[in-house]
Structure 1
Amino acid sequence: MKGATVQVAWHCSEPVLSLDFHSQSGLLATAGADHDIKFWSVHHKENGAPTVTFEAALCYHSKAVNVLRFAASGQLLASGGDGGEILLWKRSLIADEKPCWRILKTFQLHVRDVLDLAWSPDSALLMSGSVDNQCMIWDVATGKVVQILNDHQHFVQGVAWDPAGEYLASISSDRTCRIYARQSAPKKSKKRKITAVESLFTCRQVLAKTEVATPTITTTTDGNVKAFKAQHLFHDENMPSFFRRLAWSPDASLLIVPSGLYKMAHDAPSFNMTYIYSRKDLSRPCIHLPAPSKPVVAVRFCPAIFALVKNVAEKDMSSGFSLPYRLVFAVATVDSLIVYDTQRNCPIVVFAGIHYAAITDIAWSADGRYVAVSSQDGYCSLLAFSKDELGTRLSCNEAPANVSSCLPETVLANAQQSLTATSAEMSLVSEPGGLVDHDQSPPDAACPRPLRYRRITLAALPASLPPNVLEQPILPISISVPSPSPLKTRKITPVALAEDSR
């Protein structure tokens, strides 16, 4: 494997807030505080290190773009910004068979920043989480909200949609993670009509606190009993990140939640933690993954499913999972990336000391060859795996029957079929917008000219960047991660204030 912080001006030195891979073309899309969405092709240098080449930009948001996510079909892209708007982009082809992205719809109901987005498995619905404390579920075909979830009391910083379509998950800085379950629509009566808002999802579980032992001993008729006190599972609003991106596994069997905080006892020190919940019991975590000294801000599963590795040392086999295949996932703390699988109890790789500011998002390529992270320092880092380094990918014929529908190629085919069935309901808006190759003139009428068109030159960055890669498969509890954070100074000019005459 090879890893590097790619030395290009990703978003004009502004923070890179989100990124995602397109499942078909392999293009990496990034979103930044410069208001733009940019597309990059990922490839290797001669020495095998990953690098990128700028391809095109989408310029329509008026403020910072906090999140972007491709639909499973690969034909739609959703982006959410600081203005509370959600833009829906549709992929089409221009005359020379090059892809062009045009604005399909604009969703505007959130009154404050949109921080995270999640697509339904069939790409028909979209879930958003915002600083206005609300989650909204949007109908992509009509552009209307079908349900508003307003249970959280603080910023909603992460949302995730169960690949099986049964559950939703959201996490907030109010220190709770909420699990919503799909409920069947009640029978209609002549006197009262049942709306979609009343029959979609309802809160099934609130993950907020756990009980830990206290030093207090209470004497009862049965003897001495140790008292217990409830402790919060998650960090509060003072966690140094605006994002808490949680994730479901591609087979829908696991939910991994970041920003965990764990105590062995009431008076014991707290540890940063990642919680893994089993679909069979979403009320309590089945596995606790300790993190380094910084909080966990994002989790992302590799879309591919792998065969079990043979001849794994017995000491590495006690991972707590009993799956007939391997899932691979990445955990991002504020300043490091840790890659795990479900067969071993130690990380595959630790990628640390790579950014001066907080990491904001993670993305996997569809084939599992690349994992990328974005950061507020304005750069992105890439970790490239050689062919079969993570293991042998399972095909539809090799995978168990219950997970074959979760493989990337099956998900893509199903999502495209669903999109084709509903495409007649969608209509392009008349707003300008589009994706333009930076080496060509604007496209013709087949692809409307974007609101802003400009040539972008990638500037080389100074060579004095943080160290590249630490590829050491060690337990994360023992990781000592450098956290360089140079202080920025500014000149303050004193101003004389007039004395109150009274």
Structure 2
Amino acid sequence: MKLLKPNWVSHDDFPIFSVDIHPDGKRFATGGQACVNCVRWSAGGLLASGGDDKVIMIWRYHGSGGSASFGGKPSVESWRCVSTLRCHEGDVLDLAWAPHSPWLASASVDNSIIIWDASNFPNIIAILKGHTGLVKGVTWDPVGKYLASQSDDKSLKVWSTTDWSETTSISDPFVECGGTTHVLRLSWSPDGQYLVSAHAMNGGGPTAQIIERGNWTYDKDFVGHRKAVTCVRFNSNIFQKKQGGSSKAREYCCLAIGSRDRALSVWLTSLKRPLMVINELFTHSVLDASWSPCGLRLAACSWDGTVAFMEFTQQELGRPLNPEEQSLVHGGFTVMEAPVLLNMKPPAPTTQSQPAQPVSNGFSPSVSSSPSPIKAPINKQIEMRTSDGRRRITPMFIPPPPDTVNSSESTDTTAAIKNTPTFSSTSQTKSSIVIEKRDDVVAPNVTTTTNMATPSTSAPGLTLKRRDPTTARPNHHHHHHHHHSRKPRLVNDKQGSIVFPALKPVGSLSHQAAHYAVTVTNNQNLAHLQVFRGTDSEPTWNLHLGYSAVALAASAAVIAVGLEDGSIHTFDPTKGSRPAPPLAPPAPLAKLHAVGNAVMVISCCGAVRVWEIGSTSKLIVSTSASHLAAFGGASTLVGSRTPRGPLSSLQEALNRTAGGIMPSPRPPHNGSSIVSYLEQQLLASKALGSQQEYIHWFMALISFLLTQDGLEKRLRIMLDDLMGPSHSTAAKSTWDPMILGIRKHKLLADALGVIGGHLRWQRLYLEYSEQLASLKS
């Protein structure tokens, strides 16, 4: 190990309250001069600072060099404040960026925690109130499911990011603690299994308490420091090393602990004693610590105004695992709590038996995989006679054999294919195609508009495409400047074909990724794509695309733009070149996302495709999400699936009567408006006494709430009303076990059948199913 205390890192002898190493490992930030209490880097290179002025400032790199303050030295780099966040009523003591979400958490002496929307500063996601003392530390679960905070009120609280409710509050290890520390910076292990607190007490001595995830037990701790622990910081890497003469390498985590006793200790979770302890490293309390991305460098700062750096070797800490190795180690830790839920899968989406209509944009609705048998190839063609007596045979599409289905399909799809007969191309040597003669006379060289059946296959990616006559290639004598007059093509809007609403063009789109910003501006049916490096005012490169853009996604490795014609165009962020030909999803876009060199597309028909973008595009995931949106929007909640009753008849009559007076109601398009719409339909059904419609809208509301985040409390209210009171309060309750002649417990059992098909809600299912079983017994 090497130790360095650079004398050129100084805040004019003022305390340095915080230190953080940049994600690229090439620079670090310190805070403390004047009123700054905390500095934290985001994964995208933004710097957040919070201080005694109750304000959080977001900084962005603005180029090399810069002006100097009066009497000071010139700056090497220029950083500009891009946003100022004001809502706290007291000093801001700690900050934390969410690992996988655009959130920033801030802790303050006003006893609150604020979750900021980093994608749209200064919007606030939530304000968490529950502490009764100064909140001095905050940290995110690396999975993104929880947020933990520690306060002077002698408690540590864990919050759920699903609905921002308090998951648990732990106070026993902190009862004997006093408010003697400036900060209480706790930390979560990179595997998410352990949360380590700052100042705790055990047997009258200071410790750092270890809290296990899930059951939140706290029977272990790190001991040895003589005074209160002020900060804990886990290394973001998981390490591997052979220990104790073992032939097999072991995986473990590493963390640093700082204390008011001026000492810094480094621990490995595979050892019972610290790997290293440096006593009297500073002349005052240790206040913060930070690990470099490589995992072998550690920085720490102190109240005495100095910073220390330590560099370790792999022989000392071990070999850091790469992300793929970490996934192999911890990716299989998910355990089914109730194996019976494996048999409770959501019903597969059904397709209509009538032939699908050809659509004008070349897209055919994707047919979801289902256990139904695969249809044999079509063996009939149509023969017609033109007006000049010539024969004309309509071409027929012959689907490929089922063994060409992509191997990346889901388990259900694979099982369905195995259970169905396969058709080999060598089983027949003679054609079995039958020609059907028609007496119709058609004009020669004119495309007929007869409906053609789209062959049904078990692979959602196999679709029949046709060029729209209105968008056919113009004659060679047309001039190039007429290309902007092409009209965007539309998707078939028949029942059962649209699961998610298709994206529509907007004026402009923007996205921030890594060190560059991407903007797309739509003008005259063209999309103008511009890429800016850092804070440059001039674009690094730009180009025009032939249709309006409806979606934009970007990562450090790829930029993806979805156009109104349904195609996806990918670009290299640095060069502006196209690494692969345009991608062709099976239907218009509903969602576009990019991570690393992967691009995910969700089509409005529910098909999910993930392409790996390299020297070419490689389809790595092909599945369907239509079952998740069985009740995902208002457009799928009306139509043939809605039972006929007083409510539907009344609404139809009202729409016909008021058609010329009132504008058509706009269908709900976001989560809150859809919930409001469903609740309105539910209450109207109850008021009209329509039993079947009430059941329909109730199940629709339950199904939609299961697909949303942050609505668990609303879901529990509905289930609690169906469950009724417990035995102890049943005699005094006014709860009615019936509604519109339906037993509420029967309705609850039906709702649990839907909940059981969603594994993410398995605990909710077990909780209410056990209560219902005990009430019945």
Alignment TM-score > 0.5, same fold = yes
Q: Which residue identity lines up with residue 6 of structure 1 in the other structure?
A: P
What SS class does the counterpart of residue 513 from structure 2 fall into?
helix
- Whether the 8 Å contact between 1:123 and 1:418 is mirrored in structure 2 is no
Residue of structure 2 aligned with 1:295, choices 209, 228, 237: 228
2:205 corresponds to 1:242: no
- Whether the 8 Å contact between 2:259 and 2:287 is mirrored in structure 1 is no
Residue of structure 2 aligned with 1:205, choices 168, 185, 190: 168
Q: Shift of residue 387 of structure 1?
A: 4.6
Mapped to 1, the partners of 2:518 and 2:127 lie a distance apart of: 26
What residue number does 1:498 align with?
A: none
Q: Shift of residue 123 of structure 1?
A: 4.9
Q: Shift of residue 233 of structure 1?
A: 4.3
- Whether the 8 Å contact between 2:264 and 2:281 is mirrored in structure 1 is no
- Whether the 8 Å contact between 1:26 and 1:365 is mirrored in structure 2 is no
Q: Shift of residue 338 of structure 1?
A: 0.6
| Unpaired segments ≥5 residues, structure 1 | 36-63, 184-199, 211-231, 264-269, 315-322, 406-416, 426-442, 447-502
2:284 corresponds to 1:357: yes
What residue number does 2:700 align with?
A: none
Mapped to 2, the partners of 1:295 and 1:122 lie a distance apart of: 32
1:11-55 Cα shifts (integer Å, max 9, x gaps): 1111101000011142121112x23xxxxxxxxxxxxxxxxxxxx
What SS class does the counterpart of residue 252 from structure 2 fall into?
coil
Which has the larger share of strand? 1
Match runs of 1:402-421 below 5 Å: 403=330, 419-420=512-513
- Whether the 8 Å contact between 2:20 and 2:289 is mirrored in structure 1 is yes
What SS class does the counterpart of residue 283 from structure 2 fall into?
coil
1:81-119 Cα shifts (integer Å, max 9, x gaps): 1101000112355699x9643212100111211000011
Q: Shift of residue 249 of structure 1?
A: 1.0
2:53 corresponds to 1:83: yes
What residue number does 1:104 align with?
A: 82
What SS class does the counterpart of residue 232 from structure 2 fall into?
strand
Q: Which residue identity lines up with residue 77 of structure 1 in the other structure?
A: L
- Whether the 8 Å contact between 2:198 and 2:230 is mirrored in structure 1 is yes
Mapped to 2, the partners of 1:3 and 1:11 lie a distance apart of: 20
Mapped to 1, the partners of 2:239 and 2:108 lie a distance apart of: 35
Q: Which residue identity lines up with residue 165 of structure 2 in the other structure?
A: T
Q: Shift of residue 423 of structure 1?
A: 6.2
Residue of structure 1 aligned with 2:193, choices 234, 249, 253: 253
Structure 1 residues 366 and 181, CA gap change in structure 2 (3 angstroms): same
- Whether the 8 Å contact between 1:207 and 1:233 is mirrored in structure 2 is no
Structure 1 residues 303 and 419, CA gap change in structure 2 (3 angstroms): farther
Mapped to 1, the partners of 2:23 and 2:214 lie a distance apart of: 29
Mapped to 2, the partners of 1:445 and 1:17 lie a distance apart of: 35
- Whether the 8 Å contact between 1:330 and 1:337 is mirrored in structure 2 is yes
Match runs of 1:130-141 below 5 Å: 130-141=108-119
Mapped to 1, the partners of 2:41 and 2:331 lie a distance apart of: 21
Q: Shift of residue 308 of structure 1?
A: 3.1
Residue of structure 1 aligned with 2:211, choices 260, 277, 289: 277
Structure 1 residues 424 and 204, CA gap change in structure 2 (3 angstroms): farther
What SS class does the counterpart of residue 282 from structure 2 fall into?
coil
Match runs of 1:158-169 below 5 Å: 158-169=137-148
- Whether the 8 Å contact between 1:141 and 1:423 is mirrored in structure 2 is no
Structure 1 residues 201 and 234, CA gap change in structure 2 (3 angstroms): farther
What residue number does 1:384 align with?
A: 311
- Whether the 8 Å contact between 1:136 and 1:149 is mirrored in structure 2 is yes
What residue number does 2:125 align with?
A: 146
Mapped to 1, the partners of 2:513 and 2:235 lie a distance apart of: 26
- Whether the 8 Å contact between 1:31 and 1:66 is mirrored in structure 2 is yes
What SS class does the counterpart of residue 257 from structure 2 fall into?
strand
Structure 1 residues 280 and 92, CA gap change in structure 2 (3 angstroms): same
What SS class does the counterpart of residue 83 from structure 1 fall into?
coil
Mapped to 1, the partners of 2:156 and 2:94 lie a distance apart of: 14
1:412-465 Cα shifts (integer Å, max 9, x gaps): xxxxx995399679xxxxxxxxxxxxxxxxx9988xxxxxxxxxxxxxxxxxxx
Mapped to 2, the partners of 1:348 and 1:312 lie a distance apart of: 17
What residue number does 1:71 align with?
A: 42
How high is the TM-score relative to the length of structure 2? 0.40
Structure 1 residues 16 and 86, CA gap change in structure 2 (3 angstroms): same
1:330-364 Cα shifts (integer Å, max 9, x gaps): 11111111100111111110011121211110111
Structure 1 residues 69 and 95, CA gap change in structure 2 (3 angstroms): closer
What SS class does the counterpart of residue 138 from structure 1 fall into?
strand
Mapped to 2, the partners of 1:404 and 1:385 lie a distance apart of: 28
Mapped to 2, the partners of 1:423 and 1:156 lie a distance apart of: 35
Larger Rg: 2
What SS class does the counterpart of residue 242 from structure 1 fall into?
coil
Q: Shift of residue 368 of structure 1?
A: 1.7
What SS class does the counterpart of residue 398 from structure 1 fall into?
helix
Mapped to 2, the partners of 1:141 and 1:112 lie a distance apart of: 24
Mapped to 2, the partners of 1:18 and 1:260 lie a distance apart of: 21
Structure 1 residues 386 and 126, CA gap change in structure 2 (3 angstroms): same
What residue number does 1:176 align with?
A: 155
What SS class does the counterpart of residue 281 from structure 1 fall into?
coil
Mapped to 2, the partners of 1:348 and 1:121 lie a distance apart of: 27
Q: Shift of residue 394 of structure 1?
A: 1.3
What residue number does 1:129 align with?
A: 107
Q: Which has the higher mean CA deviation after the structures are superposed, 387-396 or 107-116?
A: 387-396
Structure 1 residues 397 and 167, CA gap change in structure 2 (3 angstroms): closer
Mapped to 2, the partners of 1:25 and 1:107 lie a distance apart of: 27
Mapped to 1, the partners of 2:536 and 2:164 lie a distance apart of: 44
Residue of structure 2 aligned with 1:119, choices 93, 97, 103: 97
Mapped to 2, the partners of 1:387 and 1:351 lie a distance apart of: 19
- Asked which structure has the greater RCO (Cα within 8 Å, sep 6+), the reply is 1
Mapped to 1, the partners of 2:23 and 2:185 lie a distance apart of: 20
Q: Shift of residue 144 of structure 1?
A: 1.5
- Whether the 8 Å contact between 2:257 and 2:266 is mirrored in structure 1 is yes
Q: Which has the higher mean CA deviation after the structures are superposed, 301-310 or 4-13?
A: 4-13
Structure 1 residues 347 and 140, CA gap change in structure 2 (3 angstroms): same
Mapped to 2, the partners of 1:23 and 1:295 lie a distance apart of: 29
What residue number does 1:187 align with?
A: none
1:237-272 Cα shifts (integer Å, max 9, x gaps): 2x2x21000001112111110100113xxxxxx011
Mapped to 1, the partners of 2:225 and 2:124 lie a distance apart of: 40
1:366-396 Cα shifts (integer Å, max 9, x gaps): 1122111111111111222135431112123
Q: Shift of residue 151 of structure 1?
A: 0.8
| Unpaired segments ≥5 residues, structure 2 | 67-75, 333-509, 520-534, 539-777
Q: Which has the higher mean CA deviation after the structures are superposed, 387-396 or 147-156?
A: 387-396
How high is the TM-score relative to the length of structure 1? 0.61
Mapped to 2, the partners of 1:134 and 1:171 lie a distance apart of: 11
Q: Shift of residue 181 of structure 1?
A: 1.1
Percent identity between matched residues is 30
- Whether the 8 Å contact between 1:122 and 1:419 is mirrored in structure 2 is no
Match runs of 1:341-356 below 5 Å: 341-356=268-283
Count of residue pairs the alignment pairs up: 334
Q: Shift of residue 8 of structure 1?
A: 3.3
Q: Shift of residue 234 of structure 1?
A: 5.7
What SS class does the counterpart of residue 111 from structure 1 fall into?
coil
1:116-164 Cα shifts (integer Å, max 9, x gaps): 0011113511000001111111111221222111211111000001111
Which has the larger share of helix? 2
Mapped to 2, the partners of 1:146 and 1:86 lie a distance apart of: 15
Q: Shift of residue 288 of structure 1?
A: 1.5
Structure 1 residues 278 and 178, CA gap change in structure 2 (3 angstroms): same
